[in-house]
Chain A
Amino acid sequence: MVPQAMESLDRTLAALADPTRRAILARLSLGEATVNELAEPFAISQPAVSRHIRVLSEAGLIVQRVQGTQRPCRLANGALTELDQYLELLRKALTQNYRRLDQILAQQAERKDRKT
C-alpha cells in the first residue's frame, strides 16, 4: 500500500473508532441532516458534534454543503450506504435467528435419541 493510502486508511479507522461518530454516520445513512439535527439525539453540545463532523469530513466519510448559515451533512458517495446498513441489519437478525434454530434442532435430536 502506498503511504498516502495508508494515511487515508488510518484516518478512516480513527474516525470510526468513536461510538458517537459511528452513530452520526448511522443517522446520516437515513438522509442529510444539519449540525443541530445531529446534535439533538446524542445529548452532546453542538461544538462537540462539530468536532466529530470535522473528523468524519477529513476522513472522507461525509461531505458538507453550504446553505445560508447552515452546513448540512451527508454521507460521502461510497461510504456507509443505507443499503449496506440494511444488509448488515438483516445479517445480524438472521444470524441470531438461526443460532436459536440450531438450539431447537439440537434439542429435538436429543429428545429423539432418548426415545430410541
Chain B
Amino acid sequence: MSKLSQKHLLGIKDITREDIELIFDTADNFKEVINRPIKKVPSLRDVTIANVFFENSTRTRLSFELAQKRLSADVINFSASNSSVKKGETLLDTVNNILAMKVDMIVMRHASPGAPHFLAKHISANIINAGDGTHEHPTQALLDAFSIREKFGSVSGKKIAIIGDILHSRVALSNIFALQKLGAKIMVCGPPTLLPKFISHLGVEVEFDVKKALQWCDVANVLRIQLERQQIKYFPSLREYSLYYGITKKLLDSLKKQIVIMHPGPINRGVELSSDAADSQHSIILDQVENGVAVRMAVLYLLAGTK
C-alpha cells in the first residue's frame, strides 16, 4: 500500500524500512518530474504549508520551499528572527496562530531537540521535522540514503563512514538510523571529544584515524564542524582539526580504491573538506542537493495524501 506508517515525519527512528522504500520509489517519480520542461504538478494545490524556522537555514528551507512550489502548494515562510517569538510568544501559541489561518502542514526547524515531537502531541496538522537541535534531521538522511542508492543501485551492504562532528550532528543520528534500516554498515570517525560516549551502542563502528575510516568505506559522509553549537573547545584549533581530520584530494588519491564523498552542506572549505576534494569527481554533493528536492516532494506528497 502506498501509505506511510506515520502521520508526521518527526525522525527516522519512528519510521520503517517500508516507509523509506516507499518514499524513495515516489522520489524516483518526482526526480523525473523536476527534469521536465514544466517542472510542476498540481497534486498539493489545495494544501497550505507553513515553513517555520526557528534556526537559520538556506539549503533546507529553499529545498522545502521549492519542493512545495513544484507540488503547487501554497507556502508561507516564517523565521523566528523577525517575529513575535522575540516578544516572548510560546512555541505552541506561535504555531496555533499559524494554524488558525487554515494551514495544513508545518515544516519546522527548531534548536531544541524534541520540539516537533512536542508539537505533534498538541496539534492536528502534519508535521515535518526539518532539524531539531542535535537530535534528528530526517529529510537530510533520506536524501543522503537516496543519493547512495542512486549511485550504487542499493544501500544494503554498503559501508558508510560518517566523519567529523558527530556529537553535535543531527544529520549523523538520522543517517545512522536510515542507513541501518536499509542494511548498510556504519562507521563513525572523528576526534574522541566530538564522538558521543555511547555511540557504539547504536551498533556502529568507531574509528579515530580518518585514513583507516576512508580505507574501510565505500562512501564517506563528511560533516561540518558546528562551531555555533560548541560552547567549549573540543579541539585546539581549526587548523589542527583540518590537519588530522580534513579530507583532501591527496588523501583520497592515496587510497587504493575509489570512494564517494558526500557532505550535507554548508561546507567549511579547507576545514573538514578541502576544495580540491569537494569539487573532485569523487563528490556527489550537488547530486545530494538535487535529490533533496525530489525526496522532500515525496515526503510532502505521501503525508498530504493520507487522510
- A and B: bona fide binding partners: no
